[in-house]
Every structure is written in C-alpha cells, then in structure tokens.
Amino acid sequence: MDGRPMQRVALGVAYDGSSWRGWQTQPGGQTIQDQLENALHQFAGQPLPTICAGRTDTGVHALAQVVHVDAPFERTEYAWIRGLNRYLPDSIAVQWAQPVSVEFHARFSAQRRRYTYLILNRAHRHPLWQTRAGWCFRPLDETVMQQAANLLLGEHDFSSYRSSECQAASPVRTMYQIQIHRRGELLALKFEANAFLHHMVRNLVGELVYVGHGRRSLSDFERILNARDRTLAAPTYSAAGLYLTGVTYPQELIAMPAQSDDLLAL
C-alpha cells in the first residue's frame, strides 16, 4: 500500500458454488475467494485481501455472503458493484457494496448466520436440480421433521453433527430457529444460529430426513443429539442443496440491505 488512508468496504456476494471448490483460497484458483480477489486486483490495480462471514464448502451456494476489504481509495457503491462484476465469472456476482468503519469485521462482527437447505422430494431425480438441491426419493413428512427440529432450539452441544475435520474450539452453538416449508416437491429447511460447525447443517439435514421418512423416531433424534457422538447420526447430506442466505450484524456497524432469503420464491 502507498500510505493513503484506507477505506473499509463491505460487499454482499452471491454465487452458484457448483463449479467451485468452496470459499477459501487454494492452489489453482478454483475458489470463490480466489475469483473475488482476482477481480479486486484488476479493479484496484493491486492485491486486496478479503475476509468473509462464513467459509462455504465445495458445491455450496450463497445468496448473501458478506465480505470486507480495505482499499486505499474511495469509490461509489455503484462503481464497486459494476467494477467487480465486470471481472467476475457469471456464477459469482456482487449484489451490494457500502463503506463501513474499521470496527466492522465480516466474520467476527457477525451475530447470527442463516442457511437454507433445499430438498427435492420426488420418486426420481431431476437433472435440472442436480447441483441446486439434495434429493430424497422417499416421501417426507415435513410436520414430524419440524417437531424434531424444534428439539434443536436453544443452546446445545452439537458434537453429534460435527465433522471430524471441524476446527472450532467448542461444539456448543445456539440455534435460534429452524423452519421447514414445502412447496410441491421442494422442501426448504431454514436454519438460524449464532454460528455453525463444519458440516453441521448438512449433518442435521441427514438426521431430519431420517425422521421424515420414519427411520428415526423423535425420541431417537433427541437421544442422538444428547449422545454427542457423530458415529450415531445419519450421513452428511449433499452440498448441492445448501445456501448461505443471510448474516446479521449490529445495526450500529452496518445497515444491511433488505433482501429475501426465500429460495422457494426465486
């Protein structure tokens, strides 16, 4: 940097993750972070590192990933959006931009995160949903799935739904809400928590699917949660159906743009 005062900018980024190896930079450049930082380099004429609200895995999508970047110049919000989208591939696009104070941090300032998981619930798979939704060929009872989901509300040790590769210091998380909706052959499972463990949502979806088609009872579901043993729980569900749909921050740090996270309405 050349010593000019820095401006911190928050960006809202949406992406189709099906062709990318997740968020975090890797050799070869086939990640969302690599593509965004490449666009920033071309836009700014110099490297600009990024910090995101939550690192998504290979194949996972986002409607509302939040990123911050420190730039040695000022640009209008319109210039940030149009300038970066010019250099981004079609599957990644900046949706909004706004200047923020240096107290704002995309990851550490986040209070809540929201994910939605889409399940295509029909007898036969459909190629148009292959990279957009998980698939379950058995009929699912969304009412009993919601009853099971309600048992997850509040603060719990989620070790039964934690990846063996998870690096979080604690398995304890607070789940604020889970809502399960059906529209025709599509189920949307919406999760909101203070934070999520690695593969936590996809592991919970697998267990809720077991409940939905009768393989697990509600008492089984509760027992597995309390056992804190990953080996007892259902397999991890496909990444294809997972979407990061929102992040909540203190209002004094950022005025988040209003946007819908209803995937069934898209």
Q: What is the pLDDT of residues 46-67, one digit of tens each?
A: 999 999 999 999 999 999 999 9
What is the set of active-site residues?
57
Please list, in sequence order, all residues whose beta carbon lies within 8 angstroms of the beta carbon of residue 251, skipping any fewer than 6 positions away. none
The model's pLDDT over 109-137, given as tens digits with 9 standing for 90+, comes to: 999 999 999 999 999 999 999 999 999 99
3, pLDDT greater than 70: no
Residue entry with tokens 């569900």: 237
Could you tell me the CA-to-CA distances from 51 to 9, 15, 111, 128 in Å, in that order?
Answer: 11, 16, 16, 32
Closest to 123 measured CA to CA, from 132, 136, 133? 136
What are residue 77's phi and psi, to 5 degrees? Answer: -60, -40
Could you tell me the CA-to-CA distances from 35 to 38, 89, 98, 190, 265 in Å, in that order?
Answer: 5, 8, 20, 28, 28
Which CATH number among 3.40.50.2000, 3.30.70.580, 3.40.50.300, 2.30.290.10 corresponds to the domain 7-109?
3.30.70.580
Domain-wise residue ranges, the chain: 7-109, 112-244
Which CATH number among 3.10.20.30, 3.40.50.2300, 3.40.50.1980, 3.30.70.660 corresponds to the domain 112-244?
3.30.70.660
The model's pLDDT over 202-231, given as tens digits with 9 standing for 90+, comes to: 999 999 999 999 999 999 999 999 999 999
